[in-house]
C-alpha cells in the first residue's frame, strides 16, 4: 500500500504512478564507500553540532567524495514546496513561515564545517510576495560575510521569470547562478507543470546577461529520446548556460514518475563529449552525478575558460583541477574502472 504524505490524500497522478512497482537498479548504478580523513572529520562534526545538510538527509551517494573535498549542499525555505515536480522527493504543501535567521544558521554551519564550496538550494515559495528571493540572496550574503574563503553556488527556482527577482539574486554575487531545466520540451509540462521550459531558459539568459557563471542540469530516464537530449543541450547553450550536469533519474518512491529507461554509461560519455563540442565550459555526466556534484571544480573550470581571475581567497578551490573524466561518478571513470 502506498502512503500519502502526512496531511493530504494521494493525488491522481501519484495513484497512477504507484501502479508501477519501484524498478530495480542496474548493476552499474552503485556508489563505492570510500571514507577519507576529511569525510570522517566532517561526519563527526556534523553529528556533534547537530548540523543539517541535503547530503546526509537525502542520502546522497556522493557524500563521501564531496565531503572529502569540503563541499556540501543546504536546503533553505522549509521542507515543503508550493510546486510539484513528478521526479522530486520534496513534498508539496503549505510551507512554514520563513525563518529570517536561516541565512545566518546556514552560514554558521558552513563556518563550522570549514567548507571550501557550498551549494544552496531551496523550495519554491509562491506563497511569498517575493517568492523567497530575499531568503536566497541573504543566505549568499551571510555565507560570504562569515566565510570569505568559501565559494557559493545558488540553485534557484524560476521566480516566475521576474527580472527584478533575478537581478536581486545576482546582486548577492554567488559564484554560480544555477537553474535546472531538468527535462526536454515535449514532456516538460507533464513532469514540471508549474514551470515552463522557455521561461527556464530565459532565467538562465538573464543570469548570463548580468555577468553570472551559469549552470543547469538534465535528468535522463523520464521519457525523453536521445535526439531530444541533444536539442535541450543546444537550447541551454544558446540561452547562455556555461556549465551542465547530466544524470540518471532515480525514482524516490512509488508515488513518483516511473523510470522510463536506464541510461548506460557509454551514452553518458557520448553526451559529455557532445556537450563539450557544443561549447559548454564544464560538463559532469554520469548515472550518479547530481547537479551539485563537484560543483567547486566546475566553477573554477568555467572561470579559467572565461579568462576571469579567480579571487585570491578562493584560489584554493582551483588547486589540482584536472580534465573531465577524473571524478568517481563521471561515466568515463566508471567505464575505465
55 appears as a binding residue in the annotation = yes
From CA 82, how far away is CA 208, in angstroms rounded? 27
Q: What are phi and psi of 156, to 5 degrees?
A: -110, 155
From CA 156, how far away is CA 137, in angstroms rounded? 10
The DSSP symbol for 121 reads E
241 appears as a binding residue in the annotation = no
Q: What are phi and psi of 274, to 5 degrees?
A: -65, -45
170 appears as a binding residue in the annotation = no
What does the block give as the cell for 262?
536506464
What does the block give as the cell for 269?
560519455
Span between the terminal Cα atoms of the chain, in Å: 40
88 appears as a binding residue in the annotation = yes
Contacts for 137 with CB less than 8 Å, ≥ 6 apart: 168, 169, 171, 172
The residue whose grid cell reads 521576474 is 162
85 appears as a binding residue in the annotation = yes
From CA 104, how far away is CA 40, in angstroms rounded? 25
Closest CA to 99 of 72, 74, 70, 73: 74
Distances 253 to 3, 89, 90, 187 between C-alpha atoms, Å: 10, 8, 11, 20
Using CB atoms within 10 Å of the CB of residue 118, give its burial: 0 to 12 exposed, 13 to 18 middle, 19+ buried: buried
Residues of the binding site for [4Fe-4S] cluster: 55, 60, 66, 81, 85, 88, 292
Residues of the binding site: 55, 60, 66, 81, 85, 88, 292
Amino acid at each position: 500500500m502506498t502512503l500519502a504524505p502526512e496531511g493530504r490524500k494521494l493525488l491522481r497522478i501519484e495513484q497512477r504512478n504507484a501502479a508501477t512497482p519501484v524498478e530495480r537498479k542496474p548493476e552499474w548504478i552503485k556508489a563505492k564507500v570510500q571514507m577519507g580523513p576529511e569525510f570522517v572529520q566532517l561526519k563527526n562534526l556534523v553529528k556533534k553540532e547537530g548540523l543539517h545538510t541535503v547530503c546526509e538527509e537525502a542520502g546522497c551517494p556522493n557524500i563521501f567524495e564531496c565531503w572529502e573535498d569540503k563541499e556540501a549542499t543546504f536546503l533553505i525555505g522549509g521542507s515543503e514546496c508550493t510546486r510539484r515536480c513528478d521526479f522530486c522527493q520534496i513534498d508539496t504543501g503549505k510551507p512554514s513561515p520563513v525563518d529570517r535567521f536561516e541565512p545566518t544558521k546556514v552560514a554558521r554551519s558552513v563556518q563550522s564545517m570549514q567548507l571550501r564550496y557550498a551549494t544552496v538550494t531551496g523550495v519554491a515559495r509562491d506563497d511569498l510576495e517575493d517568492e523567497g528571493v530575499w531568503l536566497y540572496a541573504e543566505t549568499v550574503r551571510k555565507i560570504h560575510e562569515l566565510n570569505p574563503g568559501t565559494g557559493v553556488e545558488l540553485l534557484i527556482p524560476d521566480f516566475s521569470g521576474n527580472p527584478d527577482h533575478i537581478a536581486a539574486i545576482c546582486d548577492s554575487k554567488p559564484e554560480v547562478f544555477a537553474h535546472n531545466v531538468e527535462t526536454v520540451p515535449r514532456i516538460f509540462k507533464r513532469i514540471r507543470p508549474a514551470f515552463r521550459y522557455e521561461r527556464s531558459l530565459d532565467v538562465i539568459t538573464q543570469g548570463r546577461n548580468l555577468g553570472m557563471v551559469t549552470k543547469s542540469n538534465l535528468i535522463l530516464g523520464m521519457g525523453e529520446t536521445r535526439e531530444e537530449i541533444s536539442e535541450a543541450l543546444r537550447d541551454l547553450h544558446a540561452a547562455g548556460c556555461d556549465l551542465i550536469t547530466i544524470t540518471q533519474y532515480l525514482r524516490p518512491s512509488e508515488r513518483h514518475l516511473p523510470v522510463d529507461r536506464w541510461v548506460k554509461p557509454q551514452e553518458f560519455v557520448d553526451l559529455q563529449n557532445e556537450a563539450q563540442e557544443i561549447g559548454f565550459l564544464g560538463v559532469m555526466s554520469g548515472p550518479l552525478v547530481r547537479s551539485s556534484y563537484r560543483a567547486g571544480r566546475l566553477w573554477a573550470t568555467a572561470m579559467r575558460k572565461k579568462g576571469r581571475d579567480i579571487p585570491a581567497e578562493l584560489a584554493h578551490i582551483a588547486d589540482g583541477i584536472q580534465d573531465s573524466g577524473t571524478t568517481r561518478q563521471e561515466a568515463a571513470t566508471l567505464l575505465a574502472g
